[in-house]
Chains A and B, each alone.
Chain A
Amino acid sequence: MEPGTMLDQKQLRKVWFLSDNVLYREAVAFLHKLVYEQECDPLPTSQVTGLLNIALLLKYGELEDFIQHQLERNWPPGKRDIKILYTALEEVLGIMRRKRLKDEFHLLDGVSAGEIRRETDALMALLAREFIQHMVAENGRLAVELSNQRPRQRSK
């Protein structure tokens, strides 16, 4: 969590609720869309480890920087799926931060103007961690499923 920020019990309870009732389903759908509709490969283990480790730090700024860095990298053609995934992840988290956190999740109700920035970062760190944890778990499951099903169409 961002240094100096302490979320109250009500906010934490709401985050757990969102994790179970909203983010879990959305993280699974997010990955299924990429894998089944856009025919992307699941993220490789090295990327999963890096992304999850950053998410677990609960420092949203660092997570944003990491995702930005990964999507701006000049990936070779065989790894274009990684860029697609990070681009989509940035979009999902961006919308969550700019709009859903306040308007849909109501997590900033009653937060003073002076605290908004810090609370937003702290809450986004938690929500992003939840989303990424669910996404990574589904990623591993799908990778196994696909290795049994999908013929190796693309050269790596």
Chain B
Amino acid sequence: MNFEMKTIREVSLEAEICYPEVIKLGDHAAYALTARHRAQLTGLENIAESTFKTADILDYIKKQIARFNHWRKPDPTASNPQQGFGERLRYYLEEDLSLRVGRICRRERLNVGDTTEDEQQTRRHIRLLLMRQVIRHIVVQYEYRVSVGLEPQYGARDDA
């Protein structure tokens, strides 16, 4: 298997491990954005799929946090019920996924160092692939939730 194929496989495996948390983020998106702001989440997905830079994705999320109240809406069922959706998503992509990239790059997996520029470029590419996959899953979960409805613990919608 060539390196590109191995990368795709390892990114997919790691995305699967992320899945339970990603589901929660998708639910939080459905709770905060509701079906009314679907375009803002598909906008995020479009940026993730088209950009060459992970920072563009983070910048987009920050802009949304600054512009819209619903991006700052916390999830009452989350472990941090004060944290808004945008902040939670930004933190997850920026901090948690960085650790996961480190795991993918370990010797027993892709064996990518962190010293030379080539190695750092490869890590950056892996991070972008993982971000894209995670965001795809979040959008799918969001779509599912806005269509079937939120779990009862979210209570009644207060933003109808």
Contact = CB atoms under 8 A, between A and B. Distances in A.
Interface of A: 13, 16-17, 19-21, 23-24, 130, 133-134, 136-138, 140-141, 143-144
Given A17-B117, A138-B62, A144-B66, 17 more contacts: A13-B121, A19-B53, A20-B53, A20-B55, A20-B127, A23-B55, A24-B55, A24-B58, A133-B59, A134-B55, A134-B59, A137-B60, A140-B62, A140-B65, A140-B67, A141-B65, A144-B72
Interface string B44-84: 00000000111110111011011100001000000000000
* Overall SS of chain A's interface: helix
Given A20-B53, A134-B59, A140 B121 contact: no
Contacts of A13: 121
Interface residues of B, number: 19
Main secondary structure of the interface of B (DSSP, over half): helix
Contacts of A21: 120, 124
Nearest to B123: A21
Interface of B: 52-56, 58-60, 62-63, 65-67, 72, 117, 120-121, 124, 127
Contacts of A17: 117, 120-121, 124
